[in-house]
Each structure stands twice: as structure tokens, then as C-alpha cells.
Amino acid sequence: MTDDVMDVTDRIERLELFEERLGVQLEGLSAFVERGFLTVRGELHPRNGTELNQDTELVVAAYDATSRVIGTASNYFTSEDFFGIETFELSINLPIATVARVRVYPKKA
């Protein structure tokens, strides 16, 4: 990792109740800020079996120190095309350099 890359993985907040409600689990999450972009990576798994119960949207929201949302991104996973595990990478162009919190959660698509 170079000096201009900041690891902010420790600032990730998962909403595990949302994961449980949708029957999914997020694993292997990481977050890095580089050149004005926040990039979040990880895996989406079903809690049971190899298929999603429903189409799912994965949302990433970045917050500043005053809890203002400074950027968002999302990715859609369709139950029809999903099998077992999916990796994801979501990038957000940041208006400021400091990310205080990164929230990652699933919701119904």
C-alpha cells in the first residue's frame, strides 16, 4: 500500500439486523480512500443455501465527522442470477478527504 492510500476499514458499520432480515451476510469487508475516492469491497453470501431469497440492493454511505452523508453508492444483485457468493466493489467520489464513518447495508431491490 502506498502512502497516499488510507485504510478506513475500521470505520465500517454493518447493519446486521438488515442482513438478517434479508437472509444475507456480508463478509471480507474493506474500505480505502485514495485520490478522492472511497472504495469498499467485500462479499455477499446468503445466510442459508446458495440462492438469494429476493433481489437485493447493497448500499454504501460515507459520512463526515458531523454525521452528514458525503457520498453514496449501490449495487444490485438479482436472485435469478445469484449463485452462492458474489464479490463487490463500490467507489464513491468524495467532496472532502476525511471519512468518519462508512455504513454498508442491504435492502430490498
30-58 per-position pLDDT tens digit? 999 999 999 999 999 999 999 999 999 99
Residue 33 CB-half CA count within 13 A: 19
pLDDT at res. 2? 56
- Please say if the pLDDT value at position 3 is more than 90: no
- How far is the C-alpha of 31 from the C-alpha of 109, rounded, in Å? 23
Rg (CA), the chain: 14
pLDDT of residue 4: 87
